[in-house]
Homo-oligomer: A and B are copies of this chain.
Amino acid sequence: MSKRVTSFDVAALAGVSQSAVSRVFSGASASKDTADKVRRAATKLGYRPNVLARSLITGRSRIIGLVVAYLGNPFYPDALERFSRMLQAEGYHTLVFTLAEGATDADADRVIQQMLDHQVDGIVLASVGLGDALARRCDTAGIPVVLFNRGQEGSGLAQVTSANREGGRKVAEFLVAGGHERIGHVSGWQGSSTGRDRTRGFLDELEALGHAVVGVEDGRYDHAAAIDATQRLVDAGVDALFVGNDHMAFAVLDHLRSELGLSVPGDVSVVGYDDVPMASFAGYDLTTVRQPVGRMVKTTVAALIEQIEDKTAQAGIIEIDGPLILRGSARIPEGLR
C-alpha cells in the first residue's frame, strides 16, 4: 500500500496551488487551463478527495441516517433497497440503524447520538413502530428529518405516507359493493398513525354506506396478534376481513385456510394493504391496496434533500394515493369484473 495521495501531491505535479486543486474538485470556479492540468495530474496519481476531511470542514457528510425497526415485513426491505439506490444516485450514502420495536428512550437516544456523531445530513425514520420520542429528539438536534410511512399529528415534521384514509375508504366501498354483509377488520397497530388512518377511513366509509362493522380487533402489525384477532372475528361470523397490512394478511389467510378449513374468498373475503411483491404470488393472490413504494421513496428523498439544501424549507405532509389491486382473495363485484 502506497501512501495516500493528497491534494498537495496533485498540486505539485500540476504546478498549481493546493487551493486550485480543491476548487476544481469542489466545483468552484477555475479556468479551463488549470482545471485541465489538475485533472490530468489527478488521474495520473489516482487522486480522490478525502471525504472525511471534506466533511470535517464543510460540516456536511453526504450521509443519510436510515432508522428502521423490523425488516420482517417485506415492505421495508423493498423501501430500503430503493432508498439506498436513490440516495446513491443523488450522491448521498445510507447509514442504517436498527432500533428494535421495544426500544426504550435510552436506546433511541443512543441511536440519535451515534447519528449526530457521524454528522448525518438528514434522517429518514422508516418504521411505524418507532416511538414519537425519537422523532422529536431528531428534530431538536437540528437535523432534517422525514418520516416515511409514518405520521405524527401536529409535530410539524415532514412526513410521507400513502393516502391511508382514502385507502381504507376504498376497501370499504369495494367490500360493500361485493355484497358482503358481515364485515370485520383486523386493524394495523392503533398506536401508529397509519394503523389509525386506515381504520378510520374504512369505518367512516362503512358508516356512510349504512353498514355496521361486525368487529374491529387490533392486530398490532404482528403475526400472532393478527391470528388471534382473526379467530375472534371468525367466531363473530364475518364474511369479509380488511387486514391492516399484507404481512398480517398472509397470516390471516393461512389461519383461515389451513387451521379453520375455510375457503377464501368463498367463505371469507380478505383484503390487505401494501401490495408487497409476495401478495401477487399464486399461493396468496391477495387483493390489496398498493402503497406506491417507488414514488413514496422518491418523494421522501426529494423532501429530505430540499430541507438539507434549504434549511428554511417548509416541512410538509405528503400523501400519495395508491390503487386497489384486484386479485383472488376477495369476491369481486359484478361491475368491476
Name the one of B94, B95, B250, B282 contacting A258, with C-beta atoms under 8 angstroms: B282
Asked whether any CB of chain B lies closer than 8 Å to the CB of A335, the reply is: no
Residues of A72-129 contacting chain B, CB below 8 A: 72, 74, 76-78, 80-81, 84-85, 88, 93-98, 113-114, 116-119
Which chain B residues lie closer than 8 Å to A77 at the CB level? 71-72, 74, 76-77, 80
Which chain B residues lie closer than 8 Å to A74 at the CB level? 74, 77
Asked whether any CB of chain B lies closer than 8 Å to the CB of A196, the reply is: no
Residues of A132-178 contacting chain B, CB below 8 A: 142
Whether A98 contacts B84 by the Cβ 8 Å rule is yes
Name the one of B49, B68, B281, B284 contacting A251, with C-beta atoms under 8 angstroms: B281
State how many copies of this chain the complex holds.
2
Asked whether any CB of chain B lies closer than 8 Å to the CB of A253, the reply is: yes
Q: Size band of the A side of the interface?
A: 35 or more
Whether B51 contacts A119 by the Cβ 8 Å rule is yes
- For A78, give the chain B residue with the smallest CB separation: B71
Whether B277 contacts A258 by the Cβ 8 Å rule is no
Between A and B, 17 residue pairs with Cβ closer than 8 Å are A48-B116, A51-B117, A52-B61, A63-B95, A71-B78, A71-B81, A72-B78, A76-B77, A77-B77, A77-B80, A84-B97, A88-B98, A96-B96, A253-B283, A254-B281, A255-B282, A283-B283
Which chain B residues lie closer than 8 Å to A88 at the CB level? 97-98, 114
